[in-house]
Structure 1
């Protein structure tokens, strides 16, 4: 029997309130996610994570963050360096593929040096989206390149670097966000490309990395596959594309349920996410009323979702014995040469 419910929650600030702790004790989320509002100092973050895990009585509860580099970086200077974007790494790859792949691995390994000692165990990268002309800049510089081959190769290096550092990656945004013409935080994009075009370009990096333990969905309508629902709430996309064509059998989490690409209130959105076949829903903003609505429709982890969650727990590796100072110097040298 699972100890957890199929949800990842955020919290409202840098310190867990007694009310939040009681809520999490009652609702038993599988994991937590941190944002900039939760970060003031290293000691404070350690204490917050300890409080989150204590609230659910699980010292190994996954704690996630989006620490990509570029404009999506929750820990910022002076706590950690301002790291380059995926596009910056891709520019190095375009000049020297071996150097680009090494830099992608190194950046992820450095993220692990920054994050794992705080108790953060999952980093929501790599972005495997392949931008297309007309795509919204919400992906933009977060992408490693403009071809699926480059994106897949760089994404694999990024995954491997995190795992070498004792963390796990989340490939995103499956089955592909690069053609989306709108920011899903605010509206629902509709992609008209044919399924054949999508398979060749958009799905390909995810297929190449389908063996990873976790993936995050795209709040994007693919009209040639399901004209009515975004991938996150489309049983057709999840069953026929993500699970079958791409072959991803890891833990599938939604992108943030509070993003306005989805319709209905947060409870209705979460219900649709589970009905479509996502294993876990993600709610990020820490708003209590929304979390209560999500919790009310969230099932206990069971069946295939529990199997996949257990596979995540089993996938963590002991960090390698890399020398942090040496790797930082190597990374800085590679990026300076680019």
Structure 2
């Protein structure tokens, strides 16, 4: 990892082009992220993952994906079973806490098995956002609950399931996307709640899970904390809220900096995120010109950021448990039907 740069890249198609291979070899992203556009079939996907790990230079090169269940699931049948959205787990927990907690663990564990079949070793779960009434449905049923403590309990169990399966979990979207009234893919959401209100609700699950190895930022402008810069680009939010108040010292990656919530040249966006205190910059759309600009704004992974990256990669291992997939799936399906 000594020459890895502080960014995560996304190939454009089903395999890296010659231009992409040369570019990734030279600019050495810390990891890669996959989308539906990169997935065609089992053998193709497995080969793509192996190519990306070779380009990353190590077996533990993180290969990220958004595999939550529900509408956010890049691998779909027949490549992987369709899993329910996180809200369904919260519904079970409301009826039976023990069953709901076990179900959350199994959800993370089975998602890990679905991914590791193809060598994918990092999943952007759990979603720890706590929606409020009137919020945009970009989070919606991706949330485990509208109760912060429930989100914390179930998020912990889900992350534990993923890690038991050798997959690095990425909690999101720190310090909270639940109050956003617009979709940050399209515009910058602005949240006017006071810092005290945010601390009592939105920050709670992240603080409870602050020992997890990896987190993703929210492109949200919290006007009571920093009325000029969204969380991803705000030294105040990153240092005072995320690092100090929430107490997170794991690897902090940005949400996709090609989202419309952010503006300006991509090199400036990337540098601003790093200057704010983010460890790694995520770029998702595969546009080569944008990626060339991004790498001009990011440094080599060094110092505390390199330490955090090493610690995060340590969770990418062979599964820690022996499982009978059919038995766990049967238990998962049974628990999912607990509510009458």
Shorter-chain TM-score range: over 0.9
Question: Would the aligned equivalents of 2:130 and 2:148 in 1 still touch at CA under 8 Å?
Answer: yes
How many Å apart are 1:317 and its aligned residue? 4.6
1:322 is matched with which residue?
323
1:334 is matched with which residue?
335
1:232 is matched with which residue?
232
2:11 is matched with which residue?
11
Give secondary structure in 2 for the equivalent of 1:118. Answer: coil
Question: Would the aligned equivalents of 1:123 and 1:170 in 2 still touch at CA under 8 Å?
Answer: yes
Normalising to structure 2: TM-score of the pair?
0.97
Separation in 1, partners of 2:168, 2:126: 11
Separation in 2, partners of 1:164, 1:259: 32
Give secondary structure in 1 for the equivalent of 2:155. Answer: helix
Give secondary structure in 2 for the equivalent of 1:239. Answer: helix
Separation in 2, partners of 1:243, 1:51: 35
| 1:1-338 correspondence to structure 2 within 5 Å | 2-319=2-319, 320-338=321-339
- Bigger drift between 196-205 and 55-64 goes to 55-64
Give secondary structure in 2 for the equivalent of 1:80. Answer: coil
- Gaps of at least 5 residues in structure 2 are none
- Gaps of at least 5 residues in structure 1 are none
1:220-246 deviation digits (Å, cap 9, x = unpaired): 011111011100000000000000000
1:65-114 deviation digits (Å, cap 9, x = unpaired): 00000110000112222110011111111111111111111111111111
How many Å apart are 1:312 and its aligned residue? 1.0
How many Å apart are 1:44 and its aligned residue? 0.7
Question: Would the aligned equivalents of 2:60 and 2:316 in 1 still touch at CA under 8 Å?
Answer: no
Question: Would the aligned equivalents of 1:214 and 1:251 in 2 still touch at CA under 8 Å?
Answer: yes
Give secondary structure in 2 for the equivalent of 1:128. Answer: coil
1:197-216 deviation digits (Å, cap 9, x = unpaired): 00000000000000000000
Runs of 4+ in 1 over 4 A off after TM superposition: none
Separation in 2, partners of 1:79, 1:307: 35
Question: Would the aligned equivalents of 1:164 and 1:317 in 2 still touch at CA under 8 Å?
Answer: no
Question: Would the aligned equivalents of 1:127 and 1:143 in 2 still touch at CA under 8 Å?
Answer: yes
Separation in 2, partners of 1:275, 1:326: 48
Normalising to structure 1: TM-score of the pair?
0.98
How many Å apart are 1:322 and its aligned residue? 1.7
Question: Would the aligned equivalents of 1:22 and 1:55 in 2 still touch at CA under 8 Å?
Answer: no
CA RMSD of aligned residues (A): 1.1
1:14-48 deviation digits (Å, cap 9, x = unpaired): 11111111110010000000001111111111100
Question: Would the aligned equivalents of 2:121 and 2:167 in 1 still touch at CA under 8 Å?
Answer: yes
Separation in 1, partners of 2:212, 2:59: 23
Separation in 2, partners of 1:99, 1:11: 39
Separation in 2, partners of 1:329, 1:194: 45
Residues paired across the two proteins, number: 338
Separation in 1, partners of 2:294, 2:130: 31
Give secondary structure in 2 for the equivalent of 1:255. Answer: coil
How many Å apart are 1:185 and its aligned residue? 0.2
How many Å apart are 1:278 and its aligned residue? 0.2
Question: Would the aligned equivalents of 1:69 and 1:84 in 2 still touch at CA under 8 Å?
Answer: yes
How many Å apart are 1:127 and its aligned residue? 0.3
Separation in 2, partners of 1:20, 1:225: 39
Give secondary structure in 2 for the equivalent of 1:248. Answer: coil
Separation in 2, partners of 1:31, 1:180: 28
Question: Would the aligned equivalents of 2:211 and 2:248 in 1 still touch at CA under 8 Å?
Answer: yes
Question: Would the aligned equivalents of 1:170 and 1:216 in 2 still touch at CA under 8 Å?
Answer: yes
Separation in 1, partners of 2:66, 2:316: 18
Give secondary structure in 2 for the equivalent of 1:31. Answer: strand
